[in-house]
Structure 1
Amino acid sequence: MVEVELKFQIPEARRNALLKALDPKKSEQIQLKAKYFDTPDRKMAEQRAALRQRLEGTRWIQTLKAAGKSHIERFEHNLDLGELADAPDLNLEVYTTEPEAQAVLNKVLAEQQDQLKLQFETDILRTYRVIQFEDAEIEVSLDVGCIRTESAEQEVHEVEFELKSGSIHSLLAFSFEWVKKYQLWLDVRSKAEMGNLLALGLKVSPATEAKEIQLSKKDSAAKNLRLLIALHIQHLLPNIAAISAGVAQPEHIQQAQRALDHLQLSISLFKDWNSDIVEKWAMQLGAFKQQFEQLHHFQHMQDTLGGFLQNPTTSENLAKDILYAKEKLGNLVKSTQNVHHYLELLMFSLATTDTPQQNDFKWFAQNTLQNQYKALQEALNDADISHFESLDTLSQRIQELKFSFPILTSIYDVKNLQKYSKALNDAQISAQEYQVLSSSAQYIQQTELEASDWFVLGWLTAKQEVYADKLLDATEQFLVSRKLIK
C-alpha cells in the first residue's frame, strides 16, 4: 500500500487555534505508543525505512515503511497483531506471505534481519478527524507527545494530512488553506528519522545532495520536465526542513541554494516544454534564491577579505550583515508564501496527465540548446570590459548553459561532447570568479572606506578585470570550438 501524506510543524502561537479547528466534539483521540527497531549500524534509517510496533488503543499494529517516489508518498504495510497486554516480540516471519513487504525488507536489510534491536520509542496523543474536501477524504491528525530513548527525550507537536481517498491535487489544495491560516511549515522529516537522531545524540541528518539526472528519450518533453522538477524538489525539501527547524549546518544551506538554483533554471530555461508551467514561478524562485546567494557572498567575503579590511567598522558591518542574513533566511524558508510555493511545485511534479505534443523530446531539447547558443553569442557581442552590466549578463548566460548542457545533450549519442564540456567549464569558472569579485567590489564601495581599505578595492578591481578578460576569451573559445549538434 502507498501512503500519501504531508506533515507540518505548527508555530507555538497557533497550536491552540489549530486544535479548536479540529473541533474536539467532532474528532477522536487515541493514544499511540510505538517501538522502533533498527540494526546497530542503522541500516533502516540509512535507506529511509522504518519498522515499528505501535499500540493503537488496545491493539498492537506492526508497520513496515519505506521511501516512495516523492516526499509525500511512502510504502506502508500494516499488520494487526491483536489485543495483547504487553508488547509482542518482533516477528518478521509474517512477511514471507507478503511479497511486496518482503522485497522491501530484503532490499533494506539483506542478511541483517536478525540484528534488529529496539532503538527508541514514541508516546503520542493523536487527535484526528476525516474532512471532506473537493473529491477527497483527508484525515487531519494532530500529534502531541514525545520521542524518547533511555537517556534523552524530544517533544513532538505536529499535524499530518493523510489522503484517504481522492486526488493528490486535492490534498495539496487542502493544505494550502491550513498553511495560510496557521502559518504551518512543511517538514519532510519523519518521526523515525527524528528518533534515530535522538538515539545517536545528533540534531540533524546529513545534508541531502542532488541525484544524478537521467531523463527518458522516449517520454515527452512535458513529462521529462515534471521528472526534473521532482528531482530538484527531493533535493530541496530535506535541506529546507533542517533550516526551518534551526538545526542546519552550512552544507544544508549550500545544498538548498543549489537545489533552488536548479529549480529556477529548469523552469526559466525549459518552460516551453510544459504548458502547465506558471510564469511567476521563475521570478519567485529567483527572489528566494537571492537570499541564499547574499548570505553565501557575505560569508565568502568574510573568509577571503576579512584579514585585509583594516577599518573595524567595515568588518563589524559585514559580521552584522551575516547575522541578519541568517535570521532572515531562517524566517523566509518557512514563510507561508514559500511553503505554498513548495506545494505548488510538488503538485506540478506529481501530475500525471499532459496535453499531447506534436514534437518529440529531442526536438524540444535541440531547440532549447540552439536558443541558448544564440543568447550566449548575443551576450558576447554586447560584452564590453568597461561595461560591468554587460559582463554580468554574459556570466549569467554561461551559468545557464553550464547547467543545461549535460541535460540537453544527454539524449545525443555523440562522442565529442566531452571536449565542448571542458571548454564550457573554463568559461563557467571565469564567470563565477568574475561575479564574486564584482559583488565584493560593489559591497566595499558602499561602505565608508578608510585609506587602508582602498587597497582592497583596488585589488578587487584589478582581479575583476583579469577575470573579465578570461571570461571573454573562454566564451569565445567555446563558441568557436563547439559544433551544432544535429
Structure 2
Amino acid sequence: MVEVELKFQIPEARRMALLKAIDPKKSEQIQLKAKYYDTPDKLMAQQHAALRQRLEGSRWIQTLKAAGKSHIERFEHNIDLGELADAPSLNLAIYEQHPEAAQILQNALNGQQDQLQLQFETDILRTCRVITYQDAEIEVSLDVGCIRTPDAEQEVHEVEFELKSGSIQALLAFSFEWVKKYQLWLDVRSKAEMGNLLAIQQKVSPAVKAKDFVLSKKDPASKNLRLLVAQQLQHLLPNIAAISASVGEQPHLDEAQLALQHLQLTISLFKDWNPDVSDKWGYQLEAFKHQFDQLKHFVHMRDTLGAFLQNPTTSENLAKDILYAQEKLGNLVKSTLNVHHYLELMMFSLEQNEAVQHHDLKWFAQNTLQNQYKQLQDCLNAASIADFESLDALAARIQELKFSFPILTSVFDVKNLQKYGKALNDAQLAANEYQILSSSAQYIQQTELEASDWFVLGWLTAKQEVYAQRLQEATEQFMVSRKFIK
C-alpha cells in the first residue's frame, strides 16, 4: 500500500500548545518500540528503504518502507506478527506472498538478505487522534522519544499528519492551518534516515543533487509542468530540511540555491503551460533565492577578494554581512511563509485533474523557446559595454535559456544538438563571470572607499568589461547557430 503523510518539526516554545490541540483526553496514547535492520554497508538506506519490527502496544508489527513518487508518498507494507513474549526474529519468508515487497527487498539487498542485522532502535510515545477535515480523515500523531544506538542517542519530538481517507489536497490544506498556528517546519527526513546517521556517527546525509528532466511526449504540457515541479521539489526539500535542522553544509546550501533557481525559472518561463500556476509563486521564489544568492556572493568575495581589501572597515562589514546572511537564511528556510510555499507547490505538483488543452506539448515547447529567442535577440540588440544594466538583462536572458534549452529541445528530433548546446554554454559561462564581477563591484561601491579599495574596484571594472565583450560575442555566435526549429 502507499502511505501518504507529512512530517513536521515543532519549535520548543510551541510543543505544549500543540499537545493541548491534539487533546490527550480525546486521543490514543501508545508506546512504540522499534528495531531497524540493514546490512553493514547500509544497502537498505542507500535505496531509501527501511525494514523494521515494532512493538505497538502488545503486538509486534514487521514493516517494509520504500520511497514513493514524492516526499508525501511512501510504499509501506505491514504484517502483524502477533502477541509475543519476546522480540521475534526477523522473518523475510513472509514476503514470498507479497510480490511488490519482495521485489523492493531484492532490489535493495541484491541477494544479501543474510547480512541484515540490527542497526538502531527507537522508543517513542505516540499521541494520536483522527480529525475530520473537509472530505478527509487525517491522523495527527505527536511522537516524543528517542532514537538510540549502543553508543549514542537522539531526541525525537515531531508531528505527523497521515491521510487515512480523502484527498491529498485536503491533507495539504489541513497542514497549512497547523503550520501557521504552531510555526511547524517541514522535515522530509525519516526516522530511519536519522537512525542510520546516528549509527554511522554522522550529522547529515549528503546533499541531494538535481536530476535531468525529459519531457513526457505522451502527456499534455500542463501535466509535464507538474511533473517538472515535483522533481524539483525532490531536489529542494531534503536540502532545505538539513539547513532547517542546522546541520546543513555548503553542498546543501549550493543545491538548495540551485533547486530554487530551477523552480523560479520553471514557474516564470512555463507559467502559460498550466492555468493553475499562481503569479505570486515566481516572486516568492525569486525573493527566497535572492537570500541564497547573497550569502554565496558574500562568501565568494571573502574568498577571492579578501586579501585585496586592505581597508579594515570593508573587510569587517563583509564579515558581518556573511554572519547576518547566514542567520537570516537559517530562519527563512523554516519560516511559516516558506513552509506554506513548499506545501502550495506540492499541492500543485500532485493535482491529478488536467483541463483539456487545445495545443500539444510540442506547440508549447516551440512557443516558449521562440519567445525566449526573441527576448534574447532584443537584449542583444540593446546591449552596450557602456551600459551595465543592458548587460545585466542580457546575462539574465542567457541564464534562462541555459536552463530551459535542454528541457524544451527534448521534444524535437534534432541532429547535432550538442553544437547548439556548446554555443549556449560559452555564453552562459561568460554571463556567470560577468554577473559575479558586477555584483562585487556594486558591493564595493557602496562602502567608504580607501586607496586599496579603489584599486580593487578598478580591477573589477576592467575584468567586467572583458567578460561583457565575451558575453556579447558568445551570444551572437549562439544566435547564428540556433535556428534548428522550422
Structures share fold, TM-score greater than 0.5: yes
Cα distance between partner residues in 1 of 2:271 and 2:172: 22
Equivalence for 1:202: 202
Which amino acid in structure 2 is aligned with residue 57 of structure 1?
A: G
Cα drift, residue 416 of structure 1? 2.2
Distance 1:424 1:382 in 2: 19
1:175 is matched with: 175
Per the TM alignment, residue 107 of structure 1 is displaced from its structure 2 partner at its CA by 1.1
Partner of 1:160: 160
Sequence identity (%):
78
In 2, Cα distance between the equivalents of 1:341 and 1:291? Answer: 16
- Cα deviation, residue 452, structure 1: 1.4
In structure 2, what residue type is equivalent to 1:90? L
Query: Which residue does the alignment assign to 1:435?
Result: 435
Distance in 2, Cα, partners of 1:404 & 1:377: 16
Letter in 2 for 1:267: I
Opposite residue 66 of structure 2, the aligned amino acid is A
Distance 1:76 1:235 in 2: 22
SS in 2 for 1:74: strand
Matches within 5 A, 1:233-312: 233-312=233-312
Shift of residue 152 of structure 1? 0.2
**Partner residue of 2:361?**
361
Alpha-carbon separation, structure 2, partners of 1:214 and 1:387: 38
Counterpart position of 1:225? 225
Amino acid at match of 2:219: D
- The SS at the match of 1:25 is helix
Q: Deviations over 1:71-108 (max 9, x none)?
A: 11000000000001111000000000111111111111
Distance 1:452 1:279 in 2: 45
Q: How does 1:466-481 map to 2 (within 5 A)?
A: 466-481=466-481
Give the structure 2 partner of residue 389 of structure 1.
Answer: 389
In 2, the alpha carbon distance for the partners of 1:275 and 1:128 equals 38
Partner amino acid for 1:211?
A: K
Structure 1 gaps, min length 5? none
Take 1:97 and 1:323, find their aligned partners in 2: how far apart are those partners? 57
**1:212 is paired with a residue of what secondary structure?**
coil
Inter-partner Cα distance in structure 2 for 1:227 and 1:276: 14
- Partners in 2 of 1:336 and 1:104 — Cα distance? 36
Query: How big is each residue's C-alpha offset from its partner over 1:293-333, in whole Å with a ceiling of 9 and x where there is no partner?
Result: 00000011011101111111111111111111011000000
Matching residue of 1:94: 94
1:128 to 2:140 alignment: no
**Moved runs in structure 1, 4+ residues, more than 2 A?**
none
TM-score by length of 2: 0.99
Cα shift at 1:484: 3.9
For 2:60 and 2:406, the matched residues in 1 are separated by 51
Match of 2:12 in 1: 12
Cα distance in 2 for residues equivalent to 1:287 and 1:69: 28
Per the alignment, residue 407 of structure 2 pairs with 407
Note if contact 2:59-2:84 (Cα within 8 Å) is conserved in structure 1: yes
Query: What SS class does the counterpart of residue 262 from structure 1 fall into?
Result: helix
Residue identity in the other structure for 1:19: L
Shift of 1:280: 0.6
The equivalent of 2:418 in structure 1 is: 418
What do residues 350-398 of structure 1 show as CA deviations (whole Å, max 9, x unaligned)?
A: 1111100011100000000000000000011111211111110000000
How far residue 418 of structure 1 moved from its aligned partner, in angstroms, is 1.0
CA RMSD of aligned residues (A): 0.6
Partners of 2:414 and 2:484 within 8 A in 1: no
* CA distance, structure 1, for counterparts of residue 464 and residue 210 of structure 2: 31
CA contact (8 A) 2:131 2:138 kept: yes
Take 2:343 and 2:481, find their aligned partners in 1: how far apart are those partners?
A: 43
- Structure 2: gaps spanning 5 or more residues: none
Cα deviation 1:200-246 (Å, max 9, x = unaligned): 00000000001221221111000100000000000000000000000
Alpha-carbon distance in 2 for matches of 1:62, 1:312: 62
For the 8 Å contact 2:30–2:127, the answer to whether it is kept is yes
Distance 1:398 1:348 in 2: 28
SS in 1 for 2:69: coil
Aligned pairs, number: 486
Letter matched to residue 414 of structure 1 = V
SS in 2 for 1:358: coil
What is the distance in 2 between the residues matched to 1:33 and 1:20? 24
* Aligned-partner residue type, residue 398 of structure 2: I
- Amino acid paired to 2:355: T
The range that moved more, 105-114 or 197-206, is: 105-114
Deviation at 1:431, TM superposition (A): 0.7
What is the one-letter code of the residue matched to 1:236? Answer: L
Secondary structure class of the residue paired with 2:24: coil
For residues 38-57 of structure 1, what are the structure 2 equivalents within 5 Å? 38-57=38-57
- Match of 1:180, as an amino acid? K
Q: Which amino acid aligns with 1:149?
A: T
Distance 1:100 1:476 in 2: 54
Deviations for 1:137-170, whole angstroms, at most 9, x for unmatched residues?
0000000000000010000000000000000000
How far 1:110 sits from its partner (Å)? 1.4
Q: For the residues of structure 1 that align with 2:215 and 2:111, how far apart are their CA atoms?
A: 33
Query: Could you give the per-residue CA deviations for residues 434-471 of structure 1, whole angstroms, max 9, x where no partner exists?
Result: 00000000001111111111110110000001111111
